[in-house]
Amino acid sequence: TQLLEQSPQFLSIQEGENLTVYCNSSSVFSSLQWYRQEPGEGPVLLVTVVTGGEVKKLKRLTFQFGDARKDSSLHITAAQPGDTGLYLCAGDRGSTLGRLYFGRGTQLTVWP
Amino acid sequence: EPEVTQTPSHQVTQMGQEVILRCVPISNHLYFYWYRQILGQKVEFLVSFYNNEISEKSEIFDDQFSVERPDGSNFTLKIRSTKLEDSAMYFCASSGSGYEQYFGPGTRLTVT
């Protein structure tokens, strides 16, 4: 059983399209982080959301934390080929040092 | 921009041998972590470390694993007697807050 379910698993779109990827759980998280990972490299932190209902924007990327702090979404506007990569969500269930539980990720491919 | 570094980038070892994976966390961070990612699978937590003590460890982190901060800059993961199933990417992460974790590029461990 996955603590964090990410959907879709794969997403292939044309440049300029908008997209949303989801990260869902039945558990409550004290914070949730989104990372991007390239093949053979470590996850790179994009954003951390902490408050239920919180929305954060990073250029064309919009991140939302659900009101109940059980889910999150990542919306990309006008996707570009440079957005291609594996997007991971990771949640902290409130342990002392913030042990992260990762989802399996969404592999995004943006075609020119 | 400060970053987490890891050495070596790739380690090949024979089953039963000891390996030490090294990490230099971001300099003013106080919280340290090890995660691993078996090929094609999600990132999994191994251990968190603060104030020269293990804060939390997962069920993966058995007696064959140990961590140490031997000096003011390095953080190491030792696997005493490697098994084939220890083959994975091992990521070190550090945090200044316990919230946002910054990952290194990883060490690919191959056990033959």
> Which of B35, B45, B102 is closest, CB to CB, to A45?
B102
Q: What is the pLDDT of residue A1?
A: 57
Is B105 in contact with A100 (Cβ distance < 8 A)?
no
Q: How far is CA B65 from CA A12, B21, B55, B81, B83, in A?
A: 40, 11, 15, 9, 12
Whether A6 shows a pLDDT value over 70: the answer reads: yes
Across the A:B interface, residue pairs with CB atoms under 8 Å apart total 70
Residue pLDDT, tens place only, A28-39? 999 999 999 999
User: Which pLDDT does position A96 carry in this prediction?
Assistant: 75
Bond prior to A81 in cis (omega within 30° of 0): no
Contacts of B53 (CB under 8 A, 6+ apart): none
Q: Is pLDDT at A7 greater than 80 in this prediction?
A: yes
Residues of A in contact with B45 (CB under 8 A): 99-101
The answer to whether the CB of A28 falls within 8 A of the CB of A70 is yes
Using an 8 Å CB-CB cutoff, list chain A residues near B95: 97-98
pLDDT at B47 over 80: yes
At A94 the pLDDT is: 83
A18 min Cα distance to partner chain B (Å): 26
The answer to whether the CB atoms of B95 and A105 lie below 8 A apart is no
Residue A23 near residue A35, CB atoms below 8 Å: no
Band (B36; pLDDT cuts 50, 70, 90): very high
Q: Each residue of A61-106: pLDDT tens digit?
A: 999 999 999 999 999 999 999 999 999 999 998 877 789 999 999 9
Of A41, A96, A100, the CB nearest to B101: A100
Q: Cβ(B80)–Cβ(B28) under 8 Å?
A: no
> Is pLDDT at A22 greater than 80 in this prediction?
yes
Question: Any CB–CB contact under 8 A between A1 and chain B?
Answer: no
Task: Work out the minimum CA distance from A95 to partner chain B, whole angstroms.
Answer: 8
- B54-82 pLDDT, tens digit each: 999 999 999 999 999 988 789 999 999 99
* Gap from B15 CA to chain A (nearest CA, Å): 23
Closest residue of chain A to B39, computed from CA coordinates: A40
Query: Least CA distance to A4: which residue of chain B?
Result: B42
